[in-house]
Structure 1
Amino acid sequence: MAETDFSDFIRANYELHEWRHAVAILKSDFPDEWADILRMLEDFRLYKGWIEVGGGNRSNLAAWVDHTLGERGWVETKFNTQIKVDEITRDSPTHKVDCFRNRVALEVEWNNKDPFYDRDLNNFRLLFDLGVVSVGVIFTRADELQEVFDAMGRGSSYGNSTTHMGKLLPRVEGGSGGGCPLLVIGIKKSLLTDAEPPAVPKKAKAKKKPAPAPLLEPQRAD
């Protein structure tokens, strides 16, 4: 990544990592989606109120990202995928993508158990191999936020076994994302604010996509 790829604000307030030229692909092939991501990062703030109330089934932080990108055409999407061997076709369902638009998939991992990273990366790998995702993005938290949680008395709710950068990077560097270009963004503590959190609408129902071409279709030997 070049310094000019991101504004001073983004570079100062987020931990950024990429693999397989994800940023270059976003800038050149998906300029509208790239602009959406940059604008979301510029607008985002980490409200103390979000940390104090916890998340429930879907955290307010994740709901804010869903809504912010949703206003620009990003939708939660589930793909119906299949594997065909000889004449037998089996469903091979992928997990839904939090935010999807025009071959760019973005997942929010704020405070889930860290195996959710395995799910996300495997999903990106499979959808990339099927030709329906060109870049995968994971929006998560930097390790340094643990200091904030501990200071607020919420450290036990955001422990070492939950989703943070230290759990994600070894998985990506170990090849869990396969050939899919990846951009990983970690929220830093400098984004923390005492301001009143905004009201966040509920998430829309996932949009289903038709099945892409089968992942496997071996030919029968003569």
Structure 2
Amino acid sequence: MTVRPVSAAVPFGALREKGFDVLFLSHARPILEGEFSDALQELERVLGAIELPISEIIGSGGGETQFTQRLRKALAHLGWEKHIFEIGKTIDGVPRESTSHEVDHVKYGSTGVLALEVEWNNKDPFYDRDLENFKRLHAEGAISVGIIITRGRSLQESLWDAVHRFAMERSIDSMEQLTENGVTPTPKQRANILKRVQRVKDPVPLAIAWTDNFVSNKFGQATTHWDKLMHRVERGVGNPCPLLLIGLPASIIAFDAAKVEPMSEEDVVD
């Protein structure tokens, strides 16, 4: 399956100017433009207003990020609410089998249904779950289009620089200062960081050693980001369900001075 970039005339022009990745697959664009134009406008307004403070990138853990919670609440406020689809089969009036499919955000229109999942920072096999779920629901006539919002390519590529900037702006050059800023590496992570910092040959500044460790542990290649999603759809995962895929850009990062909530760096959250 060949994935081609969308043309400049597609919806979400304002988002594309901000660096959002936008991809329509399997006739999703005409379906959405023709039958769900209001829903498209809602999505554009919500996504155009979101901001991701660097303090939340550093401090999120142990559950959904504050950023993800804000996005979910904004969608739910507009009627994009969680729903469990129950699909059953009956033979001569006797139920034979039943399956359920939970989707975090569902929007009902006059002619169909949209299903949306947010994959901010999960293990990348969750894409397989989402896409196969959309495929089954579409095959049963339960949804018209499946939508995934995830970390975009520019955001994934900018995370190291953003985290290092956080360390430099807060003058973090010791483990004590890391702790004062709400970051407590696990014993294993601490040992790996200090091993590079304290080695005799070519020691590494703590800000760099910590940034390397933090980004690889929390936002590594095995987590949900645009390139991993593209690998799935290029293989045809989810096909032929119409899909709208949206990648959040680096431009949403805001370098705030807020206190970081204490966390464990090992946490990978949705």
Q: What TM-score, normalized to structure 2?
A: 0.67
C-alpha separation in 2, matches of 1:116 and 1:7: 25
Q: CA RMSD in A?
A: 2.0
C-alpha separation in 2, matches of 1:145 and 1:136: 22
C-alpha separation in 1, matches of 2:100 and 2:242: 21
Report deviation, 1:146: 3.4
Structure 2: gaps of 5 or more residues: 1-5, 164-210, 259-270
| Structure 1 segment 177-196 matched on structure 2, within 5 A | 177-195=238-256
Report deviation, 1:88: 5.5
Question: What letter corresponds to residue 234 of structure 2 in structure 1?
Answer: E
1:44 corresponds to 2:12:
no
Question: What letter corresponds to residue 249 of structure 2 in structure 1?
Answer: K
Q: Partner of 1:126 in structure 2?
A: 136
1:79 corresponds to 2:140:
no
Question: What letter corresponds to residue 159 of structure 1 in structure 2?
Answer: G
Where 1:140 maps in the other structure, the secondary structure is: strand
| Structure 1 segment 49-68 matched on structure 2, within 5 A | 49-68=55-74
Report deviation, 1:30: 1.1
User: Deviation per CA, 1:45-81, whole angstroms, max 9, x where unpaired?
Assistant: 2221220112422222221221111111110111112
Report deviation, 1:83: 4.2
Give the number of the structure whose alpha-carbon radius of gyration is greater: 2
Aligned residues: 196
Identical-pair percentage: 35
Cα distance 1:138–1:190, how it changes in 2: closer, same or farther (>3 A)? Answer: same
1:3 corresponds to 2:13:
no
C-alpha separation in 2, matches of 1:189 and 1:159: 16
Where 1:80 maps in the other structure, the secondary structure is: strand
| Structure 1 segment 153-168 matched on structure 2, within 5 A | 153=211, 154-155=214-215, 156-168=217-229
User: Deviation per CA, 1:80-129, whole angstroms, max 9, x where unpaired?
Assistant: 122457855112222x2111111011110011000000000011001111
1:142 corresponds to 2:126:
no
Contact 2:124 2:224 in 1 (8 A): yes
Contact 1:83 1:92 in 2 (8 A): no
Q: Which 4+ stretches in 1 moved above 6 angstroms?
A: none
C-alpha separation in 2, matches of 1:65 and 1:173: 27
Question: What letter corresponds to residue 188 of structure 1 in structure 2?
Answer: P
Report deviation, 1:2: 4.1
More helix by share: 2
Structure 1: gaps of 5 or more residues: 198-222
C-alpha separation in 2, matches of 1:3 and 1:127: 30
